[in-house]
Structure 1
Amino acid sequence: MRTTGALTPEVLGKLRKYFKIKNIYNSNAIEGSTLDVGETRLVVEQGLTISGKPLKDQAEAKNLSAALDFLEELARNTETPITEADIRQLHYLVLTDINRENAGRYRSVPVEIGGSEFKPPNPEHIASEMNDFGQWLKSASSPGTLFMQDEAILAASAAHTWFVTVHPFIDGNGRVARLLMNLLFMRYGFPIAVITREDRSRYYDALELSQVSDLTGFVSLVSESIEESLEEYEAAASEQRDAQEWAKSIALKFGAKEKVTASNHYEVWKNAMELLKSLIRQTADLLDANANIGKIYFNDFGNLGFEKYLSLKNYGSAKKTWFFRIDFKIGARSARYLFFFGSPSHVMRALGVDVDVTLHVSREEPAGSFHYEFLDQITAPNVPNVVEIGYNPEREAFVVRGVDSRVREEKVDSLCRLFIQEVVEKDFGG
């Protein structure tokens, strides 16, 4: 296994959330779920109900989230082998509130797999087949000091293909198979492998070939998936290393006095931005609670760290500077506004506005694309007159740049109300 270096708990936590949503979305999409990634995140992380989407799809997302939490518990207890009881518990979590009668129970009827020539064993053979599989899984799930990538891929692939060959449950076999595959990867010290929705046809074709003992195609797909996950971990480690090295170089340039001054400015600025975010959230929540139609969703991405703040203040670059996003949905119409940090615009600089790091506003264009454009680059007339927000600590005032490039001071409460009001009027007033 290649090494990525020690990741901080914060980075690991973000990676865990990212892979969890990625896994839930793709695993359920393979089975036909209609939720997109953003909707999956809202259902799982915020417990929201998405209007217009099947309740079954939303229950499947919540169930798979609970199953993944249980999977992490199983992965941590490396001294304890995985048993048939653990498999049934995973299945129970996957199917509960959807098919309670069969959740966690082996099937009692023959089944056929749509589009496949393979016929799973009859129900009277399932107990013995699962006993054989369970005995192998006990051994395979306790790898000891074995952490080689090839062995991990083969063990994870075998767990998946063997399990779906038995097909022990009336429904949910695919989801449980992918959970077991990733449980083996985690036991071997690897991240999870996500079979994506785009690889659905290739995945099913490889499984069909695996039924006649040719695992080549399936192992190849799993190998590519784990490589992609490892690359994402390495990218996170590289970004962390870059940030740490940059912070060290900055620290060498700053004397004790400069460090204190920069840190104090950052804390004042950060508190101002947190206040702005809090008031916009409160305004959105108030409107959402009193609106007869439509919904407003608030997504918080956390504040900007000190190192990134310094980089943007000095007109450098920084990755992942999203602050928050507000999603408006009325009937079939929607609008998403993303607020993210950046260096002050040339307009702010040309006017001599004394701000360090500003908040830029963008909108999803077109709706549903998850592609965002700066508000001042959108030619449509329905653009709110708030495209960039800064904070002047000396004057204790928020500074707002509008679509007309004019800059004005604005009280934070009126700024929040103005933005929400203009979005509703301009995006949904017609």
Structure 2
Amino acid sequence: MSGSANTTAAWSTIPTELKLTVASGLDTHDVKALSAVDRSTYEICVPFMFKYITIGDFATLLRFLEEVPRSYYRHIEELDLSTQIDLLDGSSTLECRTEAVVALLLATRRLSKLTLRVGGSLGSSVVAPFNCLHNLKHLKIMNLCDEVDSPLSERLVVSMAASLPCLQHLSLDRITRSKFHAPELEGVFPFVPVVINDDDLPDHPVLGSELSLPSLLRIPTLRELAVRDTHLGDHRWATTPIDCQLQILDLGSCYHETEEVNSVCTQRIMAAVGPTIDEFSLNTTVNDAVFARPSATPLQRLRKLHISPFFPVDSVVDTMSTLAGSPIESLSMQCYEDDVVDVCSALEEFLNLRVERGPDFYGNLSKINLSVTTTDDITPTSEEQEERLAAFRRLEDFCRDLKLSTAMEHAVAVPGAGEKMRTNCSPVHEERCPPRFCMGAL
């Protein structure tokens, strides 16, 4: 006991500046432990404990607003916020959800990274705080609900993104087209969902009422854009003035449309923003011959190409041939375990074609990586594992002969989620930080 008392006494004599230095060098778990030493130490640790915050649902957001001192909000730099609601909770109205999100964002002026997982839409007043978030450079917005029952309007999302003064990285998932911008989609096969009654959204100072998805290209600070599970059929992608210098582009597909339609939509956007793109993630086939000619392709600077696990394996060789006009140096392909053998065979076929066509065909290519997405609920047999490993080793040997580096990585997929989801963790001080607030790296 005396040793503990002496240690505490010794800690209390250390200057505050040194205590801050100690706290800044600790990981989340250790800084929470340190905060329990005494009240003054807790106050020193607060900025580090609240730097990264995850709020897992709307009920937790309400408790956070009620129980965490508002003065702590200013320390939040990265926020992962979900407004997911209990369907049996009739009190979780759109107005209530919107007010809660606005209250939190207005007090997080140091925010640099925001992930907003929307469980049901939000009201137009949610746009107002975004004008004040001058440090926010990374924004991710995803709709957790079904588009038909709870759509998230493109007009609302574009207004939010365009209101940020310094936005550089934007990622959007499952955003719904607005009838205001896409009246031709309403009631027409294949019955792509559209949002109605969102034409009352206030005009943006720069974009005015033109809040369609293509208007994202008018955000001058934007450098990275990802749009997934969203209808990309707006023809304005080809005509909207481009005020940004996009370097990274990630385009998914719309599951309401066919592969052919998704391909046309993707190629339209590629042609519009291609001249500045260095890195591209592809989800659909590309067959426009213009991309195969070095002198004509819009993708004059494309160095890194990523192919998603949803890409049709039997189109790998044709699409790679179509993109031969770009100076691609690195190819990474993600696939599911069941597709490993087919993907390796497709890559071998592409490399054979590269050998046949000579040094002008993918002459800059130096690296091929394969990322295998595994699932916890499916265990392959030993024969399947051996077959997949043998397929990769054949690919690896072929790459080695061509003096290409290659690697295979494994990633665990969470069923029903597009990324690794985070759970809530216990608080460091329950009287100050209620349960289910996760204070840690996002």
TM-score scaled to structure 2, two decimals?
0.25
Greater share of residues in strand: 2
Q: Which has the higher helix share?
A: 1
Q: Which has the higher contact order (CA 8 A, sep 6+)?
A: 2
- In the superposition, the TM-score normalised over structure 1's length comes to 0.25
